[in-house]
Amino acid sequence: MTEAKRLRMDPGPLIGTHNGHFHADEALAVNLLRMLPTYNPSALVRTRDPALLSTCHTVVDVGGEYHPAQNRYDHHQRTFTTTFPSRPTRLSSAGLVYMHFGKPIIALQTGLDEGSEEVDILWRKVYEDFIEALDAHDNGISVYDPSETKDLQKRFHDGGIGLGSLVGDLNANFEDPSPAKTPEEAQEAENARFLQASSLMGSCFLRKLQYYHQAWLPARTLVHQTYDARKEYDAKGRVMLFSRGCPWKDHLYTIEAEKPDEEKVLYVLYPESEHEGAKWRVQAVSVSKDSFESRKPLPNNWRGMRDDQLSEVSGIEGCIFAHASGFIGGNKTREGALEMAKKAMDL
């Protein structure tokens, strides 16, 4: 029995994608579809044969067609220019499937109402912080405009492990010994590797969604409240003090972008844990979300010092440490951390 015939006997609408070398975008696209009840269970056929693809209920990343009404989601045709709402990056198969099916997937995974504001916020956030990079990578779009970076030189090699490289590594290497004796067996082995890649991408997607739903989204309200109360600790509003730790960075930069005339926050204070007697951190806010440069690092003569030595130099009791770069420090008490922030602003 051939692979195509076997797949067609399986239950559920048939999903089609291309065979051969696979990438992160179609690996995720297939997994996203299978999160929906319509496609679970659902068989998969990997082929470039138009006749076989025509038998599929849904086709992603192959076929040269983008017709949502016909469940065709390819992005390789020259006329394709579709982007996610309010985003500039041309979509790949991952972005296409997510744009059309992301909201019901999010609703199913979180228990939220599909039409709620929360689902819309999560839908946009997951795209911008996770899927858009996959779209850009598959379409050969650099994170920076090449004309603006042509004269820049890297200080070190930054080609570390990413999702694209992990999926790429699951493809067969050109010198790998092949145990397959027939073309059909070779295709079965390739399909098995693709399913590993698809599972990997789906797991990463769900982990990201869980974080944004259970941590990032609830923190949004807390950050707004803390931002509104910041002038209780500094007349200019340069210090934010949280009653507990939370993911604050994204939300702070969003708030500040909406209020450009307000003084920028320099330091954020929070306890290391929610236990009584927890130590406190004072963290310098970076100039932007992706920057390592602080708006105002802790004073130079504090950096790298610890405990009594730091307390003596700073004149503040209970100091624990100041990082060598000045981006963060610690104190035994809330009051001590607040004093560190206030003194640092004046130095």
**pLDDT at residue 112 in the model:** 98
Predicted confidence band at 4 (pLDDT cuts at 50, 70, 90)?
very low
pLDDT of residue 182 exceeding 90, the answer is: no
Longest dimension (CA), the chain: 80
Predicted confidence band at 186 (pLDDT cuts at 50, 70, 90)?
confident
- Greater model confidence, 158 or 126: 126
Percent helix / strand / coil, the chain, rounded to 5? 45, 10, 40
Residue located via tokens 């295709």? 187
Residue 322: strand pairing partners: 329
Contact 107, 119 (CB under 8 A): yes
CA 261, 264, 268 angle in degrees (round to 5)? Answer: 150
Residue % of the chain over a pLDDT of 90: 82
**pLDDT at residue 148 in the model:** 81
In terms of Cβ atoms closer than 10 Å to its own Cβ (0-12, 13-18, 19+), residue 257 is exposed
pLDDT of residue 7 exceeding 50, the answer is: no
For residue 49, the surrounding DSSP H or E stretch is none
DSSP-derived secondary structure letter, 80 = -
Predicted confidence band at 184 (pLDDT cuts at 50, 70, 90)?
confident
**pLDDT at residue 162 in the model:** 85
Structure tokens at 24: 């992160």
Cβ within 8 Å of residue 137, ≥6 positions away: 24, 25, 164
Q: How high does pLDDT run on average in the chain?
A: 93
Q: What is the rounded distance in angstroms from the CA atom of residue 131 to the CA atom of residue 101?
A: 13
Going from the C-alpha of 286 to that of each of 50, 214, 324, the distances in angstroms are: 52, 25, 15
**pLDDT at residue 16 in the model:** 98
Q: pLDDT tens, 138-161?
A: 999 988 888 888 788 878 776 667
Q: pLDDT tens, 74-124?
A: 999 999 999 999 999 999 999 999 999 999 999 999 999 999 999 999 999
Contact 282, 245 (CB under 8 A): no
Question: What strands lie across the sheet with 239-241, from one edge to the other?
Answer: 239-241, 267-271, 280-284, 328-331, 319-322
Least-confidence region, from 59-63, 136-140, 158-162: 158-162
Q: pLDDT tens, 195-241?
A: 999 999 999 999 999 999 999 999 999 999 999 999 999 999 999 99
Residue 83: strand pairing partners: 90
Q: Which amino acid is at 220?
A: R
How confident is the model over 275-304, as a mean pLDDT? 95
